[in-house]
Amino acid sequence: MNYFGTRIVLQNRCASARPKVLRSFSSCQAFLANQNVSRNRLGRPGNHLKIGIVGMPNIGKSTLFQMLTKTNLGKPANYPFATIDPVSAKVPVPDPRYELLCERMKPEKRIPAQLTVYDTAGLVRNASKGQGLGNAFLSNIRTVDAIFQLVRAFPEPDVTHVEETVDPLRDLQIIQEELLLKDAEFVESFLKKESRSSKVPAKAKEVAKKVLQCVLDNGCPVSKCSWLDEEVPFLNSFNLLTAKPVVYLVNMDEDDFLQKNKEPLQRIEAWVKKHSTGDTILPLSVIFEEQLFLLSPEELEEECSNLHVSSQLPKIIQSGYSALSLMHYFTAGNSIVQAWTIPVETKAPDAAGAIHTDFKKKFVAGEITDFEDFQNYGTLEACKAIGKSVVKGKDYVVQPGDIIYWRIAR
């Protein structure tokens, strides 16, 4: 699909649509109140999860990216649009269960759950119409599974803001509008071009029109509209930005964060409740995380205990999994201990299929050890010996932390 090739035409369409979105923004809540927000899962997160950091320019995105991924891209610049090229890095997902399993099994190889984090250029007002650098990045993050939306709540006058003042609610509104308009642009393009092909099912066009109604007429993220099960595969094929779950990360002033000052958070919580109902909000101070990053593990422990706080980074990574209703189970042998990512409430054959499609096709049973039993009885052999490892069939719903050996037909 020639995505950029269609932009000029669509800019005009979206330019005329913009006031409509602005007007209808306040109606989103009323619209949501009348919707039975669908429980069907949008997106198709696999074993390797991808999350993009999105937000206005110069608000701490690159610094957060470096802290999350433990990469050093040099000192973040204190000026807007410092990030020009798309950057991504893999980060192991912190999981004390996985650590314990490895500690006891001492495998030759460890493969923890991994998250790929993408840093993006800051989005500005009219980014969807080509302003700033963020437009190209929006295309880059189409394939992520979820979004970390960083919101500036720190006042620091030395750090310039493209809108000249610090106003988290205005920024939230700008970013959501830009994502909505980008989705509208994408679907408009689809309706004008691809959908003319006889190969495109009528249902796809129907879903595209429904998306337009959702994002333009009602000013609502796609993830918050109600969708029928049969519409979901078409939505997933569009890879829409507002169909992705969002975790709102509020970048606070260091003192406010350390003193657990709730005041800067309250208005943001109210905004999210109204415009992005149900999404997670996590406070942090990127500048404080940066200081923790420089400490040795011992110093870090001492500093956190003195200040009665902890780094928010593990919580942030885990929130990505919760936002997508994902969990981990483990396979554990002497050679490899590996964490596998699956949606919660996955049945055994599908969980086995996360390893290889053949495992699902040739599924026979799973030998399951509950993580708590492993923790209590020390080894998988001990659990087996006292009947704590049980054989389960295709109807078994895999539980978080299960240690599993799959029996596959030869």
Ligand X SMILES: Nc1ncnc2c1ncn2[C@@H]1O[C@H](COP(=O)(O)OP(=O)(O)OP(=O)(O)O)[C@@H](O)[C@H]1O
Among 72-80, 98-106, 208-216, 270-278, the segment contacting ligand X (CB under 6 A) = 72-80
The binder of ligand X chosen from 137, 154, 234, 406 (CB under 6 A): 154
> Residue from 24, 62, 331, 341 that binds ligand X (CB under 6 A)?
62
- Candidate list 52, 76, 221, 353; residue touching ligand X; CB under 6 A: 76
Q: What are phi and psi of 87, to 5 degrees?
A: -125, 140
Q: Which of 393, 383, 365, 141 is closest to 243 using CA atoms?
A: 141
User: CA–CA separation, 179 vs 275, rounded Å?
Assistant: 13
Q: Does position 156 bind ligand X by CB under 6 A? A: yes
Which residue, 57 or 168, is less far from ligand X as judged by CB?
Answer: 57
Which CB, 98 or 154, lies closer to ligand X?
154
Positions in 110-149 near ligand X (CB under 6 A)? 121-122
Residues 192, 173: Cα–Cα separation, whole Å: 28
Q: Which residue, 61 or 360, has its beta carbon nearer to ligand X?
A: 61
Nearer to ligand X, 136 or 191 (CB): 136
Q: Which of 1, 22, 77, 169 binds ligand X (CB under 6 A)?
A: 77
Residue 285 C-beta: closest distance to ligand X, Å: 5
In whole angstroms, the minimum distance from the beta carbon of 287 to ligand X comes to 4
Is 182:211 a contact under the CB 8 Å cutoff?
no
Query: What is the distance between the alpha carbons of residues 188 and 98, in angstroms, rounded to a whole number?
Result: 45
* Piece of the chain touching ligand X by CB under 6 A; list 11-19, 28-36, 44-52, 81-89: 81-89
Contact 342, 361 (CB under 8 A): no
Distance of CA 286 to the CA centre of its chain: 18
Q: 237 near 1, Cβ under 8 Å?
A: no
Q: Shortest approach of ligand X to residue 134 CB, angstroms?
A: 8
Instruction: Decide if residue 251 touches ligand X (CB under 6 A).
Output: yes
CA distance linking residue 242 with residue 140, whole number of Å: 14
Q: Which two structure tokens, joined as six digits, stand for 218?
A: 């009602």
Q: What is the nearest approach in angstroms of ligand X to the Cβ of residue 175? A: 12
Question: Which residue's CB is nearer to ligand X, number 148 or number 238?
Answer: 148
Nearer to ligand X, 147 or 354 (CB): 147
Specify the DSSP element, H or E, that contains 405.
strand 403-408
* Rounded Cα–Cα distance for residues 179 and 171 (Å): 12
Does 264 help bind ligand X (rule: CB under 6 A)? no
Distances (CA, A) of 210 to 171, 215, 217, 222: 27, 9, 10, 10
Listed in order, strand segments (DSSP E) in 106-255 are 109-111, 114-119, 146-152, 246-251
Residue 116 or 277: which CB sits closer to ligand X?
116
Minimum CB separation of residue 305 from ligand X in Å reads 22
**Shortest Å distance, C-beta 96 to ligand X:** 28
Choose, by CB under 6 A, the member of 24, 63, 69, 369 that binds ligand X.
63
Strand order in the sheet with 336-343: 109-111, 336-343, 326-332, 403-408, 363-369, 389-392
In DSSP terms, which residues pair with 110 in a beta bridge? 337
Cβ proximity of 186 and 238 under 8 Å: yes
Binding string, 267-296, against ligand X, x = CB under 6 A?
------------------xxx---------
**Choice between 120 and 223, CB closer to ligand X:** 120
The stretch among 26-34, 152-160, 261-269, 307-315 that binds ligand X (CB under 6 A) is 152-160
Beta strands in 156-279, from DSSP E residues, in sequence order? 246-251
C-beta of 109 vs 170, nearer to ligand X? 170
The tokens for 389 are 């490892």
Task: Indicate whether 80 belongs to the interface with ligand X (CB under 6 A).
Answer: yes
Which pairing describes strands 326-332 and 363-369: parallel, antiparallel, or unpaired? unpaired
Compare residues 12 and 78 and give the one whose CB is closer to ligand X. 78
Chain residues that interact with ligand X, rule: CB under 6 A: 57-63, 76-78, 80-83, 121-122, 154, 156, 159, 251, 253, 285-287
